[in-house]
Amino acid sequence: MDYVSEFRDKTLIAPLLAELKQTLTRPLRLMEVCGTHTMAIFRHGLRAILPPEIELISGPGCPVCVTASSHIDGFLDVAQRDGVRVAIFGDLFRVPGSQSSLARAQAAGAKVEIVYSPMDALTLAEKHEGEEVVFLAVGFETTMPLVAATILEAGRRKLAHFSVFSAGKIMPPALHALLADRELALDGLLCPGHVSTIIGAEAYEPLVRDYGISCVIAGFEPVDILQAVLLLARQKRDGRAEVENGYARAVAWQGNSRARQVMNEVFAPVDTPWRGLGMIKASGMAIREEFACFDAERKFAVRLPESIEPKGCLCGEILRGRKKPQACPLFKSRCTPMDPVGPCMVSSEGTCAAYYRFGEGR
Amino acid sequence: MKNDTILLDHGSGGLASGELIRDIFLSRLGNPVLGQLEDSAIIETDRGRLAFSTDSYVVDPLFFPGGDIGLLAVHGTINDLAMRGARPLCLSLAMILEEGLPLDDLQRIVASIDNACRESGVPVVTGDTKVVQKGKGDKVFINTSGIGLVDEGLDISARMARPGDAVILSGSMGDHGITILGQRAGISLFGNLRSDTRALHRLVQKLLATVPGGAVHTLRDPTRGGVATSLNEIAAAAGVAIELDEDCIPVTPQVAAACEILGMDPLYLANEGKCLAVVDGTHGAAALAAMHGMPEGRDARIIGRVTESPPGQVVLHTAAGGARIVRSLTGEPLPRIC
């Protein structure tokens, strides 16, 4: 068992699809919250084999896509200062702010390094003692515990020339903000697998209670995704709305309390802007006062400008599930992965990038 | 945001590279031979048909499991000649060295070039060396050009692919790309991964000797941009569609695992010792058997077929039973965030 191929096995997929067809009592509008789900659905061509009654809507679960342009502008402000070297995850490289991107800043001379772990940024700091190394942190509960651990480690190593610019976000407040929009009329959520490993299945119980929505946590392989869709269809057929864990091999009911503890030790909740969703209360992760010496925003006295969304770009509507990429006048004309206007086109996990790369499907 | 400077994407081998070549180079320098945008140019002379190709090598790190920049520079140009069906004759070697490069490193690279030339039977016959100030280069840049001979009547090019052809890949995808990424990131999770760099001219000659003349329509080595971009180029040049079967595309378990972890798609990763062959469908099995008889093609598979429409489109039938469009690479493949 290699934990991949068996979850892509056609002989397992066929009976799931057959049962799904029998279970559907009416059309279902489901949101896949997580960008990795969006990409997996396209990559495996699942839209082509799902019954036409299932409408999949992509949600706000791509950390790069929901990073407000004001944060990107703040990142650029720091990256362009003398004596600074910034470290980023790869998908942040091409994301446009209101004027430029880190890729363009690098072409103009800024020092931008792509790392695979925030801890790699500490190694960079040790290598470049004469510079301030700043990790530009974008991510949800999945990545932010590791960012927190990196800050704690920087403290242990006494790295005074290392800091973090945090645009980290917490997922549940954004889901509350989305579901409060009754126009969206969702029948269920495919809850994110990676985030759920940290926050646990229990984190979705308030959503069920407050909005009566069915929540199923899904893994990222075709069998995982189809099974989660089937669980949601069964809930609808039976008139139930509850949290079910379809990814039990990775997600525990209580999640990972140690990771949350590290995250909460370093970060405190703060109101923060989400691209397309606006300001959401207590949904951001600010570096706590005790770690101010590792907070790039304070070190460089960054003032975040107001977010200016590109003219004509519908990323906001797309992130809220209100519009599909084809409805955007810029899609595939002014906005392509080569020259993206909005973040949904630039991130490898963005909805528009998925529609562009893999065909528009349904 | 309009591009007004060169970005890394322009060197990715994907759509941005294509746009740069079309808008800046072909718009000024275009002629019927250059405009074909093949791996090497075929020049008709009174004494026969010459293939001519050039390529530059800027890999970081210089040394990696399975090879180094010197091996790439020899194999790459030999392969560009071979992909037009040419028998490579000789190479030029131009090296741009950065001040401060350890002589030991240079000796290792030149020894490697020597080995590659001996093994492939293609010598370096002319060369050039320049040294630039520290900070003005990246240790070593190498350019190699090559000349080869093409048999009369042979016309192997992207525009020759036609409906009914079989698409063959000579071995597993992405070994080179993931090896380099793993080295750059200092990731040692992926076991015995090695670059696949090797010369392919003997494999091509075997193929041409086995199937009837004219049955081999197109050959491409899917380097930067990977198999996906090469197939898109073929589909566009020939005005055909290509259908792939994910189940049939060879990927080693190590590369598959690394791609899962890093969020990469092996269809877009660079290869340095693999060839895509588009062969008349009635000779697909014979072509495959010919490849299997050579060490370079031991793991060859028929991965798909050429169809009529929609012209220019590449479609993948996924292992899960779905289907999706495969486009050219847009931007360097980058590791994802979560």
Reported as a pLDDT band with limits 50, 70 and 90, residue B190 is low
Amino acid B12: pLDDT = 83
* Spatial separation of the C-alpha atoms in residues A218 and A1, rounded to whole Å: 20
What's the pLDDT tens digit per position in B220-232? 999 999 999 999 9
- Positive or negative CA dihedral for A344, A350, A352, A356? positive
* Spatial separation of the C-alpha atoms in residues B200 and B273, rounded to whole Å: 7
Phi, psi of B110, rounded to the nearest 5 degrees:
-70, -35
* Spatial separation of the C-alpha atoms in residues B4 and B74, rounded to whole Å: 34
Cβ–Cβ contacts within 10 Å for residue B28, how many? 7
pLDDT of residue A338 exceeding 90: no
Amino acid A229: pLDDT = 98
Q: Are B5 and B15 contacting, i.e. CB atoms less than 8 angstroms apart?
A: no
Amino acid B14: pLDDT = 83
Minimal-distance CA residue of chain A relative to B6: A107
* Spatial separation of the C-alpha atoms in residues B193 and B17, rounded to whole Å: 28
The phi-psi region of residue A239 (left if phi > 0; otherwise alpha if psi is between -120 and 50; otherwise beta) is left
Reported as a pLDDT band with limits 50, 70 and 90, residue B68 is very high
Range name among A204-218, B173-187, B203-217, B264-278 with the lowest pLDDT average: B173-187
* Mean pLDDT, residues B6-20 taken together: 87
Is the Cβ of B21 closer than 8 Å to some Cβ of chain A?
Answer: no
Q: B16, A338: Cβ pair inside 8 Å?
A: yes
DSSP SS3 for B177: helix
- Amino acid letter at B266? P
User: Which value, to the nearest 10 degrees, does the dihedral of the CA atoms of residues B317, B322, B327, B331 take?
Assistant: -120
Instruction: Please list, in sequence order, all residues whose beta carbon lies within 8 angstroms of the beta carbon of residue B298, skipping any fewer than 6 positions away.
Output: B171, B291, B292
Q: A45, B324: Cβ pair inside 8 Å?
A: yes
* Spatial separation of the C-alpha atoms in residues A13 and B321, rounded to whole Å: 8
pLDDT of residue B154 exceeding 80: yes
Range name among A112-116, A242-246, A346-350, B32-36 with the lowest pLDDT average: A346-350
Percentages of chain B per state (helix, strand, coil), in multiples of 5: 35, 25, 40
Specify the residue for token string 């446009």.
A96
pLDDT of residue B276 exceeding 70: yes
* DSSP label of A315: H
Reported as a pLDDT band with limits 50, 70 and 90, residue B262 is confident
Is the Cβ of B253 closer than 8 Å to some Cβ of chain A?
Answer: yes
Reported as a pLDDT band with limits 50, 70 and 90, residue B4 is confident
* DSSP label of A312: T
Q: B9, A4: Cβ pair inside 8 Å?
A: no
Rounded to a whole number of angstroms, the distance from the CA of B218 to the nearest CA of chain A is 25
pLDDT of residue A309 exceeding 90: no
What's the pLDDT tens digit per position in B119-128? 999 999 999 9
Q: B316, A45: Cβ pair inside 8 Å?
A: yes
What's the pLDDT tens digit per position in A250-263? 999 999 999 999 99
* Spatial separation of the C-alpha atoms in residues A143 and A121, rounded to whole Å: 14
* Spatial separation of the C-alpha atoms in residues B241 and A158, rounded to whole Å: 59
Nearest to A63 among B16, B319, B338 (CB): B338
Helix (H) or strand (E) holding B104: helix B103-120
Burial of B284 (0-12, 13-18, 19+ CB in 10 A): buried
Phi, psi of B212, rounded to the nearest 5 degrees:
-60, 150
Q: Tokens at residue A312, please?
A: 């004509």
Amino acid B188: pLDDT = 67
* Spatial separation of the C-alpha atoms in residues B140 and A224, rounded to whole Å: 47
Burial of B210 (0-12, 13-18, 19+ CB in 10 A): middle
Amino acid B181: pLDDT = 87
User: Which value, to the nearest 10 degrees, does the dihedral of the CA atoms of residues A193, A195, A200, A203 take?
Assistant: -110
What's the pLDDT tens digit per position in A90-140? 889 988 888 899 999 999 999 999 998 999 999 999 999 999 999 999 999
Amino acid B338: pLDDT = 57
Q: Are A96 and A344 contacting, i.e. CB atoms less than 8 angstroms apart?
A: no
Which residue intervals of B147-283 are DSSP H helices?
A: 175-185, 201-210, 226-238, 253-262
Q: Tokens at residue A35, please?
A: 């960008």
Strands ordered across the beta sheet of B87-98: B41-45, B48-57, B140-150, B87-98, B124-132
DSSP string, A79-106: HTSTTEEEEE-GGGTT---SS--HHHHH
What's the pLDDT tens digit per position in A161-180? 999 999 999 999 999 999 99
Q: B320, A116: Cβ pair inside 8 Å?
A: no
Chain centroid to CA A238: 31
Q: How far is CA A51 from CA A14, A48, A212, A239, in A?
A: 12, 8, 24, 20
pLDDT of residue A342 exceeding 90: no
Give A8's contacts in chain B (Cβ within 8 Å): 319-320
Mean pLDDT of chain A: 93
Q: Are B150 and B49 contacting, i.e. CB atoms less than 8 angstroms apart?
A: yes
Reported as a pLDDT band with limits 50, 70 and 90, residue A316 is confident
pLDDT of residue B187 exceeding 80: no
Specify the residue for token string 């092996």.
B266
* Spatial separation of the C-alpha atoms in residues A150 and A52, rounded to whole Å: 46
pTM of the model: 0.90
* Mean pLDDT, residues A247-276 taken together: 96
Minimal-distance CA residue of chain A relative to B256: A4
Helix (H) or strand (E) holding A23: helix A10-23
Most A CBs within 10 Å, among B181, B252, B336, to test the A interface: B336
Specify the residue for token string 């696949």.
B196
Q: Are B94 and B143 contacting, i.e. CB atoms less than 8 angstroms apart?
A: yes
Amino acid B1: pLDDT = 43
Rounded to a whole number of angstroms, the distance from the CA of B170 to the nearest CA of chain A is 23
Amino acid B3: pLDDT = 64
Q: How far is CA A280 from CA A66, A169, A174, A276, B302, in A?
A: 12, 10, 7, 11, 52
